[in-house]
Every structure is written in C-alpha cells, then in structure tokens.
C-alpha cells in the first residue's frame, strides 16, 4: 500500500517558499508525533479571512478539510472574537522545515535564511506580518531574539541594500 505521503505529500518549490514566508510570519508548524512528521497551521482573524482563503488555495492539495471558522470570547475584554484557520495533513515533507524553524519547540529565524530568502518568501512574509507606517515598511518580528533581529538586518542590507532600523 502506498501512503498518502508518497502520493500527495510532496511540496512543490513554490509551496515550500510559500510555507517559509508563512513561517517567518504568522504560520506555525506542529510536530506532535514521534514519527518525524509535522503539519502547518494557518490561523488569521476574521478581518483577514480573504487572505486565509487565498493561502488555503495555495495549499489545498496538502489539506484534508476546508478552512474553518472559530468563535470564542476573549476573556481579557469579554468580547466575542471570530477567526479562521486550516491545517495541512501531517507528513514527513514538513519535517525539514520544522527542524529549520524550531529549536526546543520555539520558533526561530533559520540560520540559513540569507541563503533561502527569495522575493516570493519576502512577499508572503510582508503580507503576514508587515505594515506601512509613514512610508516605512514594518515587519512585526517581536517573537524573535535581538541576535535574530541583527541577523535579519544584515540580510536585508547585504541582499537588498536596505538599511534596517530598530524600532
């Protein structure tokens, strides 16, 4: 018997770059098994619903279910919140990316980011975690360490000639 992975778990180059862009932004990989597998989870607010559906279209051959609506009460503000999510099936093809982006279960900036960063990855990253403020592009990278920020700054300077400031 041929497993699902052997038939459909192969990522195209475009999908792999897409997923890397998502991981630099809001996406997350989950590895909850000892079988050396992982799955991608994409979760966005209701205001980003169309963006999530666009992402789903890019990866639908790797999923089993459609995007789902999630509603809960944010206890901090006693306010109803609506969000949307989907995840891929769990398979070995994502293990390489999991090992690249996670250390002791915490998401990190991959040490080979300079080598793998492409304009497409950067575009997806900006759509996930970017915004314009007074003509400046801001990437929300607060979850990464100061050392990782310095590394990303050097990449933008070397690869694109962009001087990145601290905020």
Chain position carrying tokens 């300077």: 157
* pLDDT band at residue 48 using 50, 70 and 90 as cut-offs: very high
Both tokens assigned to 107: 């998401």
Residue 29's CB: how many other CB atoms inside 10 A?
22
* pLDDT band at residue 34 using 50, 70 and 90 as cut-offs: low
91-100 mean pLDDT = 90
Query: Residue 74: beta bridge partners?
Result: 79
* pLDDT band at residue 107 using 50, 70 and 90 as cut-offs: very high
Chain position carrying tokens 């459609």: 66
Q: Regarding the domain delimited by 4-160, which CATH topology (the fold level of the hierarchy) does it fall under?
A: Endonuclease I-creI (3.10.28)
- Check residue 7 and give its pLDDT: 42
86-94 mean pLDDT = 89
pTM for the predicted model, two decimal places: 0.87
Cβ atoms of 15 and 59 within 8 Å: the answer is yes
Distance CA 56, CA 75 (A): 29
């Amino acid at each position: 018997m041929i497993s699902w992975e052997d038939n459909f778990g192969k990522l195209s180059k475009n999908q792999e770059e897409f997923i890397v862009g998502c991981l630099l932004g809001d996406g997350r990989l989950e590895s909850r098994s000892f079988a050396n597998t992982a799955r991608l989870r994409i979760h966005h607010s209701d205001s980003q619903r169309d963006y999530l559906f666009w992402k789903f279209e890019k990866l639908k051959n790797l999923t089993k279910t459609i995007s789902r609506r999630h509603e809960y009460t944010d206890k901090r503000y006693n306010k109803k919140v609506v969000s949307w999510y989907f995840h891929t099936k769990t398979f070995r093809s994502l293990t390489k990316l999991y090992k690249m982006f996670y250390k002791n279960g915490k998401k990190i900036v991959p040490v080979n980011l300079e080598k793998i960063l492409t304009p497409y990855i950067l575009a997806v990253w900006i759509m996930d975690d970017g915004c314009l403020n007074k003509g400046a592009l801001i990437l929300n990278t607060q979850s990464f360490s100061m050392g990782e920020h310095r590394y990303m700054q050097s990449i933008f300077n070397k690869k694109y000639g962009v001087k990145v400031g601290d905020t």
